[in-house]
Amino acid sequence: EAGVAQSPRYKIIEKRQSVAFWCNPISGHATLYWYQQILGQGPKLLIQFQNNGVVDDSQLPKDRFSAERLKGVDSTLKIQPAKLEDSAVYLCASRPTGTSGYEQYFGPGTRLTVT
Amino acid sequence: RKEVEQDPGPFNVPEGATVAFNCTYSNSASQSFFWYRQDCRKEPKLLMSVYSSGNEDGRFTAQLNRASQYISLLIRDSKLSDSATYLCVVKVVVQKLVFGTGTRLLVSP
C-alpha cells in the first residue's frame, strides 16, 4: 500500500513570498490533516478535513494560510505571504474511516525555510 | 499550561539500560493516549496505544494514570536503534490528536 505522498520535500523562499505544498493521502482515507512542526517541538494541527469538508481549522493562521481539498482526495496548503517564523516541517497525515484504532499515517513532510 | 507536557531530554543511556519517559496532560476529558516515535528528519509513526490497565509490546511498556493525568513509557534493554524522539499524544475530541514536544532518547554503545 502506497503511503502518504507530499511534495516538494524541501523549499527555500524569501519572506513575503508565497508557497504551496501538496499532499496525496493513502487511497480511501477520508480524513486528512496538515500539521506544522517547528524544530524542537511536536506537530501542531493546522487543519483537518473529512472528505472535502473542514472539521477543524481553529489553529490555522487564516490571514496567511489557506488549505483546500476540493475533491476529497489530495490537498494543498498555501502560505501567502510567508514570514520567518513559518520555517518548519509541514506534515500531512491521513486516517481511514470506520476503524476502531486511532493511527494517523504521516507523509515525509515538506521542510520549509523562510529567509 | 500546555495540553501535553514532556521532558524534552535528551536522555543519554547505554545499551541494555532501562529508561522511562513521563508525560502529563491537562484535559481531564482526554479520551485516548498514544506514544509515537519520530526518527531524526522523519515522520512520526505510532509506537503503541496506552490503555488504562497498562500494556506491553516486547521491550516497551506503557501505563496510564487517569487520576494523576499521567502517562509513561518504559523501554527495557535499550538498543541503539531505539534512539529517536518519543512523542506523547492525547486524543482530546473525536479524531483530533494533540502532540507533546517529544522526549529525545540517545542510546550509546
Could you read off the pLDDT of A81-93 as tens digits, one per residue? 999 999 999 999 9
Cα within 13 Å of Cα(A37), Cβ side: 30
Any idea how long chain B is? 109
Interface test with A, best of B43, B45, B47 (most A CBs within 10 A): B43
Distance CA B26, CA B3 (A): 5
Nearest to B102 among A42, A106, A107 (CB): A42
**pLDDT at B52 > cutoff 70:** yes
Tell me what percent of chain B is helix, strand and coil, each rounded to the nearest 5: 5, 60, 40
Q: Which three cell numbers stand for residue B69?
A: 493525568
Q: Which residues pair with A25 in a beta bridge?
A: none
Q: Helix or strand or coil: residue B59?
A: coil
For residue B10, give the chain A residue with the closest CA.
A40
Look at residue B96 in the predicted model and tell me its pLDDT: 82
Chain B residues contacting A via beta carbons under 8 Å = 4, 8, 32, 34, 42-46, 49, 87, 91, 95-102
**pLDDT given for residue A72 in this prediction:** 86
Position A100 confidence tier, pLDDT thresholds 50, 70, 90: low
Average pLDDT over residues A99-105: 73
At residue A101, does pLDDT exceed 90?
A: no
**In this structure, are residues A112 and A60 in contact, taking their beta carbons and an 8 Å threshold?**
no
DSSP 8-class letter at B107: E
Residues on chain B touching A107 (C-beta within 8 angstroms): 43
Smallest Cβ–Cβ distance between A106 and the set B34, B44, B98 belongs to: B44
How large a percentage of chain A has pLDDT more than 90? 83
Give the list of residues 6+ apart from residue B19 with CB closer than 8 angstroms, or none. Answer: B11, B13, B74, B75, B78, B105
Distances (CA, A) of A108 to A25, A48, A86, A111, B30: 12, 18, 18, 9, 28
Chain-wide mean pLDDT for chain B?
94
Higher confidence at residue B47 or residue B2?
B47
Annotate A28-84 with DSSP letters as a single string.
Answer: T--EEEEEEE-TTS--EEEEEEETTEEEE-TTS-TTTEEEE-TTSS-EEEEESS--G
CB-nearest to A42 from B32, B45, B87 is B87
Smallest Cβ distance to A106: which of B43, B96, B101?
Answer: B43
Whether the per-residue pLDDT at A1 is higher than 70: the answer is no
The alpha carbon of B10 is separated from its chain's Cα centroid by a whole number of angstroms, namely 14
Which is higher by pLDDT, A96 or A48? Answer: A48
Those residues with Cβ within 8 angstroms of residue A59's Cβ, 6 or more apart along the chain or in another chain: A44, A45, A46, A47
A25–B contact, CB cutoff 8 A: no
At a CB cut-off of 8 Å and minimum separation 6, what does A25 contact? A4, A32, A73, A74, A75, A92, A93, A94, A105
| B97·A104 Cβ contact <8 A | yes
Question: What pLDDT band is residue A113 in, cutting at 50, 70 and 90?
Answer: very high
State pLDDT tens for residues B4-20. Answer: 999 999 999 999 999 99
Q: Do A42 and B43 make contact, defined as CB atoms within 8 angstroms?
A: no
Residue B19 to residue B74: CA distance in whole angstroms: 6
Closest CA to A49 of A105, A85, A95: A95
